[in-house]
Amino acid sequence: MDVVRGQEWKRPKPAPDALERPFFEAAARGELLYQRCPKCGHVQFYPRAVCTACGTDPEWATAAGRGSVHTYTVVRQNGMPPFKDELPYVVAMVELPEGVRMMGNVTGCSPDEVSVGTALEAYAVEFEPGLALPFWRPAR
Amino acid sequence: MAARDPVIVGIGLSDYPVAPHLSTAQHHAQAMQRALADCGLPKRAVDGFCCAGMGAGAAEAMLMAEYLGIDHRFVDGTMTGGSSFEFYVQHAAAALRQGLCETVLVTYGSNFLSARGRTLGTGGFGGRGAHVTGADMFQAPYGLSLVGAYAMVARRHMHQYGTKPEHLAEIAAGVREFAGLNPLAMYRDPITVQDVLASRMIADPLHKLDCCVVSDGGGAFVMTTAERARDLRQPAVRVLGAAGGQTHWNISQMPDFTRSAAAKNAPETFAQAGLGPADVDVIQFYDSFTITVLTLLEDCGFCAKGEGGPFVAEGHLRRGGRLPLNTDGGGLSSCHSGMRGIFLIIEAVRQLRGQAGAAQVPGAEVALCAGSGGFLSGIGTVLLGRG
């Protein structure tokens, strides 16, 4: 996925621990990670220290960076900065073909152009050098 | 009734919906005083205590036991969000049956509106610090509001089952009709489905009038055994069944956006009583948002999954309908001070005692309460019956 660097970050900033950090480091390299259990094959997101199905240590896996809107909302009222200056904006649950869902903003289009099923591609935005968070836009 | 069957004997509400003269602790205290006066038990009779709130967080029960002066043998501060009080009924019923205690006081209080203003659903609610950790890292940077979380549930239901905004609006209009009968309700003027649809969009597809109010308020109820209840002031209301569970905590982790944990635990609650949805006369459901009610209705078995919209449109939830909803005016129109679950129990007791005044459902024998905490996350169902 594309990586946007050098943008001022005004949003709540992730403060990952050692276990979570590889996700954000990978995003800064353009890779979208999720977790897969080496024992039972269960896939999950957000990253955890255990497989929620069988309790084993999960491993990282790389997603293709594509997905579709499972459900979404257009936020039209939010009193908190920086979001109040960005209204209206789309927050969606993105279904990945790999079997996990991720929350994210859908940008690069009018909110009216988003519906359940809209095909998306991920891109990453660096929030500090070497660490990035994924966002989504309509697939090209 | 067997001697140690659990019953509810006292109820009390603190001043609401706007009570700037009360702190959170004072809401707890006033509600306790009124619930004890209602049943006639002295405070020293209380040897079990359940309490949750948004003040001290995880230690709310400890802090309030100290403040109120409760010498407990059984204590429960389980925090499942607004449904905590439905879980307390389950836990306290088991404790009373086991003989762990004789009289359980449950309290809640919050000065949410006076302390923080009307920001519950659209800002200032969780995970919004400069730095976020854990699951919040994958949610908070995207600016989802509390209303927006429920809006995603509504959107999925609409997509999957053809549910219409009009269906959700009918829920708000029906609850407002009951609010008109409650002199204390925050909003009492009648509203129509069209009024709801014409109100400002907060997070598509939820309008302002699809959302609960933000208020001050507290409540308390007293549980004891059927044997102890015999010589008390009020008729006892029986706990016929109670069960709870969760499917997720964070909204991003909801496995099926159209289905809550009630789909699993409401059948358990009914089974404990040997009753089914057809036996229920009145329902008190957590109406944080109209979609919360629709989801719980389906999950509790009053209609099939996906048929909640047409079911609601038939008017069953209205005054005079076969399943009146939130006869006190609900969170949608009367009182929502952050964690509404206690008010569901209190209003159900009022109905089953026949003390609900103009909002009384004639001959109400069985009431179902369904509490929702978090983001349709922790769901507790409680079936209550006339003593």
Mean pLDDT of chain B: 96
Using CA atoms, how far apart are residues B127 and B132, in angstroms rounded to an integer? 6
Please name the member of B123, B138, B155 whose beta carbon is closest to the beta carbon of A78: B123
Please name the member of A12, A20, A105 whose beta carbon is closest to the beta carbon of B128: A12
Asked if pLDDT for residue B129 goes beyond 70, the answer is: no
Residues B103 and B163 in one domain: no
Number of H helices, E strands in chain A: 1, 10
Asked whether residue B142 is assigned to any structural domain, the reply reads no
Query: Cβ contact (<8 Å) for A12 and B151?
Result: no
Asked whether residue B310 is assigned to any structural domain, the reply reads yes
Using CA atoms, how far apart are residues B120 and B232, in angstroms rounded to an integer? 39
Q: Which residue has the higher pLDDT, A38 or B119?
A: A38
Instruction: Give the tokens for residue A27.
Output: 């995003």
Please check whether residue B291 is in contact with residue B345, taking contact to mean a CB–CB distance below 8 angstroms: no
Residues B108 and B191 in one domain: no
Which residues span the domain enclosing B349? 148-213+243-386
Beta-strand (E) ranges in B102-170?
A: 103-110, 131-132
Interface of A with B in 78-137 (CB under 8 A): 78-80, 83-84, 86, 89, 91-93, 101-105, 111, 116, 127, 133
- Of B91-105, B124-138, B256-270, minimum mean pLDDT range: B124-138
Using CA atoms, how far apart are residues B97 and B91, in angstroms rounded to an integer? 10
Residues B293 and B329 in one domain: yes
Residues B192 and B69 in one domain: no
Interface of B with A in 235-254 (CB under 8 A): 251-253
Query: Cβ contact (<8 Å) for B124 and A79?
Result: yes
Number of H helices, E strands in chain B: 12, 12
The predicted pLDDT at position B116 comes to: 82
Find tokens 């996990």 and name the residue.
A100
State how many domains chain B has: 2
Please check whether residue B244 is in contact with residue B261, taking contact to mean a CB–CB distance below 8 angstroms: yes
Minimal Cα–Cα distance from A140 to chain B, Å?
Answer: 22
The predicted pLDDT at position B56 comes to: 62
Minimal Cα–Cα distance from B28 to chain A, Å?
Answer: 30
| Average pLDDT value for residue range B342-352 | 98
Q: Where are the domains of chain A?
A: 2-7+14-138
Residues B225 and B329 in one domain: no
Query: Cβ contact (<8 Å) for A104 and B142?
Result: yes
Q: How confident is the model at residue B117 (pLDDT cuts 50, 70, 90)?
A: confident
Interface of B with A in 195-224 (CB under 8 A): 200-206
User: What digits encode the pLDDT tens for the residues B43-82?
Assistant: 999 999 999 987 666 789 999 999 999 999 999 999 999 9
Residue A75 forms contact with B (CB below 8 Å): yes
Asked whether residue B196 is assigned to any structural domain, the reply reads yes
Q: How many CB atoms lie within 10 A of CB A29?
A: 11
User: With pLDDT > 70 as the criterion, what percentage of chain B qualifies?
Assistant: 97
Residue A72 forms contact with B (CB below 8 Å): yes
What residues pair up with A128 in beta bridges, in sequence order?
A131
Closest-CA residue of chain A to B140: A12
Residues B191 and B310 in one domain: yes
- State which amino acid sits at residue B350: R
Residues B228 and B313 in one domain: no
- Which of B118, B139, B144 to mutate to test binding with chain A, by most A CBs within 10 Å of its CB? B144
Residue B233 forms contact with A (CB below 8 Å): no
Task: Write the CATH number for B111.
Answer: 3.40.47.10
Helices (DSSP H) in A18-78: which residue ranges? 21-28
| Average pLDDT value for residue range A22-49 | 98
What residues pair up with A63 in beta bridges, in sequence order?
A32
Query: Cβ contact (<8 Å) for B131 and A104?
Result: no
Of B182, B272, B222, B238, residue with least CA distance to B353? B238
Find tokens 């994924």 and name the residue.
A134
Residues B234 and B253 in one domain: no
Residues B377 and B329 in one domain: yes
The predicted pLDDT at position B1 comes to: 85
